[in-house]
Amino acid sequence: MDLSAVTKATVKAENSLEIAKYSSLAVPAVSILVSFAVLLMIVWPRFSQALQIKKSNTELAQKADSLKQKSAILASLDKTELEKQVVAAEQLLPSDKKVFLLISQIERAAASSGVLLNRVESTPGSLEAVSGEPPANAPAPSAGAATEIAPSVKVNVSLTSGYSSLLQFLNNVSAIPRTVSISDLSVSSATSEGSAQLKVSMSIFAYFKPMPTDLGSIETPVAELTQSEKDKLEKIIDTGLATTPSVSVPQVPIGREDIFAPF
């Protein structure tokens, strides 16, 4: 009997059993790999997209609520009062220099306080549009220097007055319906005999703020005025300087309504 043939048959049978055993595990392994690939390439991107959509919906809902609140605040504002406040705010911090109006206000303050103006001079600078940014060749401010929040125009004033008239003039200048500050105040006697008249020089800075060139975001919340700001604007309105003149538009002849109608 040939034992080698039997051995070969036995080995072949064992190999067939091993192949059959591993082949039965191949199908589930391939299925798992395919399922993992589908999960990684299809299900997970869709799930991430759904999460992103949910987050976007939440943000849009919050923006919609914010716009509703903003719309309610804007609807509650009185148009007439708002126009008066806008004009008063323009008087308080104008959009341009308005040097001649400032000098006129200083002269009225002097006339009502009884001081004698000797000199009023100003250097308005260029008539071009002024921006809040410093020029490129401007020196850098020192660490202790305070930066201005708005550009300003400087008016140098020298006057002669008594002590009480000087105090009244300073009060009148402070009451000007515009943001101003007084610096470089110098007071000396007008004569050497101890006269009651004083010789005074000072610098008056009046601030202005150019109008913004870019519109703000529609989602920016409405900043409501505080009571002190309302009182300040109401004080300017009471002076009569914040009233807008009513302009009537004249009727312009527009010709015949129907050019094809007979005369």
**pLDDT one-digit tens code per residue, 162-186:** 889 999 999 999 888 888 899 999 9
Condensed to tens digits (0 to 9), the pLDDT of residues 89-111 reads 888 888 888 888 888 999 999 99
- Give me 106's structure tokens: 């200083």
Nearest 10 degrees: Cα torsion 79, 80, 82, 84: 160
Q: How far is CA 110 from CA 1, 105, 174, 242, in A?
A: 141, 9, 12, 21
pTM over 0.85: no
Q: Which residue has better confidence, 255 or 181? A: 181
Poorest-pLDDT segment among 19-28, 167-176, 190-199, 221-230: 19-28
* Confidence class for position 136, pLDDT limits 50, 70, 90: very low
The radius of gyration of the chain's CA atoms, rounded to the nearest angstrom, is: 41
